Structure 1
Amino acid sequence: MRHTRWLGALALTGALALAGPVAALEQLKLSVQPAPGTAADDQPLTALLKAASALYAARSDARTDPQDLVSAALADYAGLLEVLYGAGHYGGVISIRIDGREAAGIPPLSPPTRIDTIEIRIDPGPPFRFGAVDIAPRAPGSTLPDNAARGARARASALREATTGAVNDWRGAGHAFAKVAAQDVTADHAKQRLSARIRLAPGPRLRFGRLQVTPGSAVRPERIRAIAGLPTGKVFSPDALETSANRLRRSGAFRSVTLAEGKQAGEGDTLNITATVVDEKPRRIGAGAELSSMEGLRLSGYWLHRNLLGGAERLRVEAEIAGIAGQSGGIDSELSARFDKPAILGPDTGLFVHGDIKDLDEKTFKSREVRIGAGMSRRFSDELTGELGVDLSYADITDDLGQREFTLLSTPGSLLWDRRDDILSPTSGTFVQFEAEPFARLNGNSAGAQLIADARAYRAFGADKGAVLAGRVQLGTVIGPSIADTPPGMLFYSGGGDTVRGHPYQSLDVAQGGGVRTGGRSFAGLSGELRVGMSDKIGVVGFADAGFIAADGGFSGAGEWHAGAGVGLRYATPVGPLRLDVAAPIEGRTGDGVQIYIGIGQAF
């Protein structure tokens, strides 16, 4: 008998498996009855209900198995009711009929073998308004938000946000253990009023205690504390806690960072914080390539160590070779290294030391340069950073003015204000960078300064924000010495992928007479792009660039303009968009036919 039962069960299972789920669900419809006091067709509510529906999600995933559909329908009663509450409807009626049968009456273990039609009918009922809303006690200086005040639409989300906000107000005032102690929410269906009385328990006002570090990181615990800069002894603040966590994340030494509050207050109303970090891989290598029809091939690479001495110190070594098979000069090579140590004079100030070796074979000059320097970096906010250093450099120059040597002592400084939403391919925000390098020539009697500004802005528009308008302004000038007393590397040229596409690299310069050509002491560049996404991966770009070079510093003398324009193609990758630009000159004497640029990342 036992074997007979097992054989029967296996036969039934096999028959069901052979039959398989019947492809069905020809129609899924959701209708919302107009509620008194609302528009005849409440499109926003309908859209919210569809977005929250498990049945619509199942159809989107092409799931038509009857068991799955019945389960989704049963889940929709609660899910759709929550949406109605969130929209301020507390007397709603939901009906979900599967081939004419109410889904709630279908036994979950005995679903139909086929489902053709599902109809969701919703009577949301009248919208409720807030009556008395009392959330107390409140933190000093805090008020009830307008969307939870008497007479406002009684959305459950607004009440939740008001309650959460009141708790967070107390936490922001130092009461880390603030919580909801009691709540009483009443819906008056006769008057369509929702009243709430919520009691808060602020708890004691606490101060930050010690930052405890969970073992396991290769970064020394004292360095983790120094980088985090937790304000021990100061009044507890969630913002200050998040700032400390962000400092650790920005160090680049950690894959993940968690700062957890203690479960109870310590001696003297202090709250200890526990840091749990997971280290990043200590070493990283990377490479890049750009190709231009005139400039040739540019190859670059770097090696990075994220925790060189056990204190989250970074060492980055970079190498670059440019101008391979180019038509605008010879081959340029550069080798540089930079060492950064965070949290030297407080958590937001770091030390850096760097060195550079360059061998440049440009169109108008040849140069062999060595530079060493050190300085301090400072993060003023999440968006504003700055650096100030002291450099010593030597350059052996050969150009149309002859063979010269420059030994410079300089104090380069920079400020960077970065509000872009994405570094690799921004769609909104701004980027502004100022650089100033005062210098004195030690093997001569000249002194001056190089000033550079770079400003960019991005704005998305159109359907689904699929188009981006990007603009860039570049300005540069050298004040003080003459062109002959200024290192050619500090002078300005225009033309090429970083300035004016469509004109050869550094093709716009200054004619000194007698066939002598040099860079200028003033430069202005303008660029605009319209980027349109054609799909998730592919985009097209239209662009125009213009550049200006003048012999005199401070834009005080006459100069010369040139301009170019073209179209481009972008293909999105995890490391930034692959870029193909084709440009032609539209103004200026330096044009030399169509130019092609291939690289990784947006042009700016």
Structure 2
Amino acid sequence: MNNHSKSYRLRALSATLALVFASDVAWAVDPFAVRDIRIEGLQRVEPGTVFASLPFRVGDTYNDEQGSAAIRALFALGLFKDVRLETNGDVLVVIVEERPTVADVEFAGSKEFDKDVLKKAMRDVGLTEGRPFDKALADRAEQELKRQYINKSLYGAQVVTTVTPIERNRVNVTFSITEGEPAKISEIRIVGNKAFSTSTLLGLFELDTGGWLSWYTKSDRYSRAKLNADIETLRSYYLSRGYLEFKVDSTQVAISPDKEDIAVTLNITEGERFVVSGIKVEGNYLGKEEEFKSLITIKPGQPYNADLVTGTVKAFKDYFGSFGFAFATVEAQTEIDRTNNQVALVLQANPSRRAYVRRVNIAGNSRTRDEVIRREFRQYEASWYDGDKIKLSRDRVDRLGYFKEVGIETQDVPGSPDQVDVQLNVEEKPTGSVQLGAGFSSAEKLSLSFSLKQENAFGSGNYLGFEVNTSKYNRTVVFSSIDPYFTNDGISRAFDIYYRSQRPYNDQGGDYQLVTQGMSLRFGVPFSESDTVYFGTALDRTTIKPGTNIPAAYLAYAQQFGYTSTNLPFTVGWSRDDRDSTLAPTSGRFQRFNSELGLIGDANYVKANYQYQQFIPLAKLYTFAFNGEFGYGTGLGGDPYPVFKNFYGGGLGSVRGFDQGTLGPRDVTGSSIGGSKKFNINAEMLVPFPGAGNDRTLRLYGFADVGNVYGENDKFDLSVARASVGIGLSWISPVGPLRLAYAEPVRKFPGDRIQKLQFQIGTSF
């Protein structure tokens, strides 16, 4: 063996041992000047990537220490399965073996998860198409899959990884999954409770041992995150009832050998119940101590309530914020008297420094344009920080209805102690909706309605809507468009084009029609943050098409004033909305007034309608809802009130239990023709659905309705009002809020048409 071959092999062995032992192994290799560097074995990796990782260049002096560093650097790239350095005279040869790349990742046997969810989890650990593959990466991916299934209580899930080599040094990775049955909670025990029964405390939990609705709520599936949330709920329950020193000593979760049953045990110490002996305020309150004291909600003599204390601290900070003190601190200190089981509260405040907002940042709006959100802001950049305006801005953005979550936070500006940035974080939701409605009756059998709405068309904040009603007796086609910021001052513009064909209900049928077609234009002018006044006009053309069984009232009106009536009515309206949610409100009030004045055209009349809604939270999960609606119309200038402008009552949105639109005066033919006056009052009590736990999207409600419709010459007479009671189901379904109601009329009269079962998707009352 010649000396050159010995040197060649010694240097390669030196580099390999340097990597294995991660230390500088000194071999008697003479340093030499590198005349050239060659790379062998590359397939997909660019040579520049290798050259950039080498600690030496052509012309540098090479030694074994540099060789060890080069091998470590190349392995650190994660691209190579093997790396060797060899020399050929004064030429350095870098020999690499690339790792295979992932061509495809597949999942077999997965039912609990959508494959896109699993692929995202794999991307998070680095296993995805086009990335280098190694066994350690596959092991991490397998453990991540098992973790995902454990989070779904599938503790018995098994994952087998299969790696299939294919051409061009690529591999297909397949995870074969056997999910098994989910582990279900068989027992939840609370040890140490004396003041409250176990059933009372377990009733606070999201987790339970299962019920007839567990297939929907999955409340009997163990989740560490849900258990932690339940523990916090338990702690809050005790702390809000005076148990200041309550604590959870330990949490034990035991799983059966077959991994299908889980037992949870909570060991708690309640401590003594403390009563507030007094409240003091200390610190700097900007000379407004009395104003701050008026914000204190907890009183001496009451049990200590951590929720009220937290609420008071927040109210103090918010009030400081309204004066520009964004960095104010308020600390609630407790002075405990264990002898008498009393606690004194000291609210220590430091307003710190006043600040102004440097920048308002928005994150999370991938679809909605920035300007749609920013125009709702009342806190402006480069102005003093105002906590009230920031809260109002957040509420206005939330009321747009475009986002699942809206959060706002302030961030310090490094190097500028008197500045803050306001960060608004939103999570978008689909703003298009399909609404369906149906009703059952002996005459119409099944009537359907359909609407397609886009509340945030193309992210512009504009509304587009299309509605169709296919009822046998009432057919409607309406196209609507609303621009909420037609002007920069917030004046909105709404435009409607409509076609309505109406045939009031009668047992004999008939082929007559009352056809209204036209268009309307109205503008909304905001007069305050919660009040908007609407002005508009419309062009109406109503035609009475005679036919069999036409109501005598329609025929008499047509013979006197003509079969076609063209009008240009003016509209004025007002609304105020301070509900906490438009989808599932639990508190707040909504009011709306609309009026229509017909002075130009073939009919002279005035028509007005007022609606009032109130939502009152009675407890965490119980809400009382009230709705009242009143309508009035009359003719002007000696003309009668036009019959085609009549109000109708009965059914959804009115008095449930009666056929839609059948209340009020009737023609001599027996047809329901509506009237010029109406009222309806609805009261509802919403409660949790049995077995659904604290799920607010699925609730039961009981209701009572009363109302009627009156003719132009009739007086409001409560003795002839119709009334009903019933129960219903409220569910915020994937296609919109669904309400199913079964009503039993409790005040009805001969000839009334009853419709006990009704449902609609996309309605409120």
TM-score (norm 1): 0.67
Encode CA deviations 1:350-390: one digit per residue, 9 max, x unaligned: 22222212222335962222222222235667765543322
Give the 3 Å change call, closer, same or farther, for CA 384–155 of structure 1 in structure 2.
same
Report the identity percentage. 14
Q: Return 248-257 or 425-434, whichever deviates more.
A: 425-434
* Counterpart pick for 2:611 among 450, 454, 457: 454
> Quick check: 1:172 aligned with 2:322?
yes
| TM superposition shift of 1:439 | 1.8
* Counterpart pick for 1:394 among 541, 552, 557: 541
Partner of 2:15: none
**Counterpart contact for 1:93–1:123, Cα < 8 Å:** yes
| TM superposition shift of 1:178 | 1.7
* Counterpart pick for 2:678 among 499, 506, 523: 523
Encode CA deviations 1:425-460: one digit per residue, 9 max, x unaligned: 777766543221112233x4x533111233456678
> Quick check: 1:475 aligned with 2:609?
no
Encode CA deviations 1:222-261: one digit per residue, 9 max, x unaligned: 4432233433454322221122223233334444444442
**Counterpart contact for 1:93–1:125, Cα < 8 Å:** no
| TM superposition shift of 1:520 | 3.4
User: 1:23-172 counterparts in 2 under 5 A?
Assistant: 30=192, 43=195, 87=242, 124=271, 127=274, 133-142=280-289, 143-144=292-293, 163-172=313-322
**CA–CA distance in 2 between the matches of 1:548 and 1:24?**
56
The code of the aligned residue for 2:536 comes to G
**Counterpart contact for 1:508–1:590, Cα < 8 Å:** no
Q: Return 190-199 or 246-255, whichever deviates more.
A: 190-199
Secondary structure class of the residue paired with 1:246: helix
**CA–CA distance in 2 between the matches of 1:190 and 1:162?**
27
**CA–CA distance in 2 between the matches of 1:201 and 1:382?**
31
* Counterpart pick for 1:322 among 441, 452, 471: 471
**CA–CA distance in 2 between the matches of 1:460 and 1:81?**
19
**Counterpart contact for 1:88–1:156, Cα < 8 Å:** no
**CA–CA distance in 1 between the matches of 2:221 and 2:725?**
47
Secondary structure class of the residue paired with 2:393: helix
Larger Rg: 2
The gaps in structure 2 that reach 5 residues or longer are: 1-184, 211-218, 253-262, 507-511, 546-553, 693-697
> Quick check: 1:298 aligned with 2:458?
no
**CA–CA distance in 2 between the matches of 1:392 and 1:374?**
9
| TM superposition shift of 1:334 | 1.6
* Counterpart pick for 2:708 among 537, 547, 562: 547
Partner of 2:397: 248
| TM superposition shift of 1:95 | 9.5
Give the 3 Å change call, closer, same or farther, for CA 394–499 of structure 1 in structure 2.
same
Encode CA deviations 1:121-172: one digit per residue, 9 max, x unaligned: 9694685765784531114424446677899877777666555544333222
Encode CA deviations 1:161-216: one digit per residue, 9 max, x unaligned: 55554433322221112235x99866576787767777644233233444344586
| TM superposition shift of 1:591 | 2.9
Partner of 1:235: 384
Q: How many residues are treated as equivalent by the alignment?
A: 527
Partner of 2:100: none
**CA–CA distance in 1 between the matches of 2:567 and 2:438?**
32
> Quick check: 1:411 aligned with 2:570?
yes
Give the 3 Å change call, closer, same or farther, for CA 423–296 of structure 1 in structure 2.
farther
Secondary structure class of the residue paired with 1:400: helix
Q: Return 282-291 or 127-136, whichever deviates more.
A: 127-136
**CA–CA distance in 2 between the matches of 1:126 and 1:524?**
52
User: 1:262-277 counterparts in 2 under 5 A?
Assistant: 262-264=411-413, 271-277=420-426
Partner of 2:740: 579
Encode CA deviations 1:294-353: one digit per residue, 9 max, x unaligned: 444332222233443653222122222212xxxxxxx43222122222334456542222
Give the 3 Å change call, closer, same or farther, for CA 236–557 of structure 1 in structure 2.
closer
**CA–CA distance in 2 between the matches of 1:430 and 1:216?**
29
* Counterpart pick for 1:206 among 337, 355, 365: 355
Partner of 1:369: 516
The code of the aligned residue for 2:467 comes to E
Encode CA deviations 1:503-539: one digit per residue, 9 max, x unaligned: 674363365x899996533334456678888835785
Partner of 2:758: 598
Encode CA deviations 1:263-314: one digit per residue, 9 max, x unaligned: 1289895544344444444644333323333444332222233443653222
Secondary structure class of the residue paired with 2:563: strand
Give the 3 Å change call, closer, same or farther, for CA 267–395 of structure 1 in structure 2.
farther
**CA–CA distance in 2 between the matches of 1:300 and 1:408?**
28
Encode CA deviations 1:7-27: one digit per residue, 9 max, x unaligned: xxxxxxxxxxxxxxxx99999
* Counterpart pick for 2:599 among 419, 433, 440: 440
**Counterpart contact for 2:664–2:711, Cα < 8 Å:** no
Encode CA deviations 1:560-584: one digit per residue, 9 max, x unaligned: 9463646555475634454243556
**Counterpart contact for 1:479–1:521, Cα < 8 Å:** no
Q: Return 424-433 or 403-412, whichever deviates more.
A: 424-433
Partner of 1:360: 502
**CA–CA distance in 2 between the matches of 1:121 and 1:263?**
40
The code of the aligned residue for 2:413 comes to Q
**Counterpart contact for 1:503–1:584, Cα < 8 Å:** no
The code of the aligned residue for 1:453 comes to Y
Secondary structure class of the residue paired with 2:595: strand
The code of the aligned residue for 1:579 comes to L
Secondary structure class of the residue paired with 1:248: helix
Partner of 1:338: 480
The code of the aligned residue for 2:356 comes to R
Partner of 1:488: 643
**Counterpart contact for 1:130–1:154, Cα < 8 Å:** no
**CA–CA distance in 2 between the matches of 1:564 and 1:158?**
42
**CA–CA distance in 2 between the matches of 1:416 and 1:81?**
38
Secondary structure class of the residue paired with 1:235: coil
Secondary structure class of the residue paired with 1:263: strand
**CA–CA distance in 2 between the matches of 1:449 and 1:539?**
40
Secondary structure class of the residue paired with 1:170: helix
The code of the aligned residue for 1:598 comes to Q
Partner of 2:437: 288
Give the 3 Å change call, closer, same or farther, for CA 540–252 of structure 1 in structure 2.
closer
Give the 3 Å change call, closer, same or farther, for CA 334–481 of structure 1 in structure 2.
farther
**Counterpart contact for 1:400–1:517, Cα < 8 Å:** no
**Counterpart contact for 1:187–1:193, Cα < 8 Å:** yes
